[in-house]
Amino acid sequence: MTKTQLFPDIRLLFGAESAQAAEDETEISICIGGGCEYKASGEYFYLTAGSCIIRGSALMSCRTVYSPDYHGISLLMNTHCVSYYDVFDMRKRFTDISENEMRIFRADDNIRRLAEELYAVRGSSRTSMLRIKAVELLMLLGEVRYRHCEHTDTIRQVGEFICQNIFEHNTIPQLAELFAMTPHTLKAEFDRYFGSSVYAYTKLRKMFRAAELIRSTDMKIIDIAEEVGYCNASKFSSAFRSVIGITPKDYRTEHKSKESSENRVSQAD
C-alpha cells in the first residue's frame, strides 16, 4: 500500500489506506476488486468492484473493513484548505455533499478506466502524471448526476431490517409489503441509496458479519453459517469466498497468523 501527496490538500491512497483518512477530509474511493464494508451512524454500505463511494468529512468515525483481496484507490481532500482543490473548482463540484452524507454509485467506464490506470502505477515517482490523471478523474466525478433517494427514511428502515435479520431470507415482495411500497419502487430506491440490489446487499452483510465472527470468536464455521442463515456448509463457503475472496477456513487461518505475528512484534517492542 502506498500514498502520494498530489497537492497540499489532496492525497492519493492505494489499497486499504483510506482507513487513515483524517478529520475534515472528504473521501472518494473507487473499488477495482474485492470489497469493503463501511459502518456509519448504524448503517452499512458496501463498496464492490466497479463502484464508487463519496464519504463526507464528518463521517471519519465510521468503521471500515476490507476483504483480504481488496484493491482500489482513494482520493482524500481537505475541505478547509485552499489550493489546487479550488483552482480546479473541485469544491464547487462537491458542495452539495453533506458532511454527514455517504453516497455510493456504480462508476462508468471512464471513471473505472482512470482508477485502474492510477492503481497500476502506484508507487510511481512520476507525481506530475498522477496529478493529471487524478484531476481528470475528479472532473469526471464532478459531472456525475447523482439521483437522490425519494424515500430515504423508509429505505434506511429496510436496510436496518435486513441487517438485524440476516439469518432470514426476505423476498422483495415481502419487504415491499412490510414497508408499504411497491416492489418496483423498493428495488429502485434501495439501489439508489445503498448502491446495490437488495439481494447483493443482503449477501454482503451476511458475509461481512460472518467474517467478523470468524475473526472475533472461536465459533465453529458451521455455526457461523447458521448464524447468518445458511444451513448448507458448502453453499456458505462458496458465498463467503465470492465476497471475501477466500474460504472461511483460510480466512480464520490467515487472521490467526496475522494476529500471532502482531503479538510477536508487540512483545519484541
| Residue ranges of domains in the chain, CATH in brackets | 3-142 (2.60.120.280), 152-259 (1.10.10.60)
Task: Give every CB contact of residue 11 below 8 A, 6+ residues apart in sequence.
Answer: 3, 4, 5, 25, 75, 76
Averages of pLDDT over runs of 10 residues in the chain (269 residues) are 80 76 79 93 92 76 88 85 52 54 88 93 80 88 77 94 92 96 96 94 97 95 96 95 96 83 60
Instruction: Identify the pLDDT of residue 95.
Output: 47
Q: Which residues pair with 105 in a beta bridge?
A: 52
How high is the pLDDT of residue 99? 61
Long-range Cβ contacts of 118-125 (<8 Å, 24+ apart): 118/12, 118/73, 119/14, 119/32, 119/71, 119/72, 119/73, 122/2, 122/14, 123/2, 123/14
Please count the other Cβ atoms lying within 10 Å of the Cβ belonging to residue 106: 13
pLDDT for the residue 5: 87
Q: Report the pLDDT value the prediction gives residue 42, as an integer from 0 to 100.
A: 86
The answer for residues whose C-beta is within 8 angstroms of residue 157's C-beta and 6 or more apart is 179
Containing H/E element for 96? none
Question: Whole-angstrom Cα distance, residue 53 to residue 28?
Answer: 6
pTM: 0.87
Strands 71-78 vs 25-33: parallel, antiparallel or unpaired: antiparallel
C-alpha 162: how far from its chain's center? 18
Radius of gyration of the chain (CA): 20
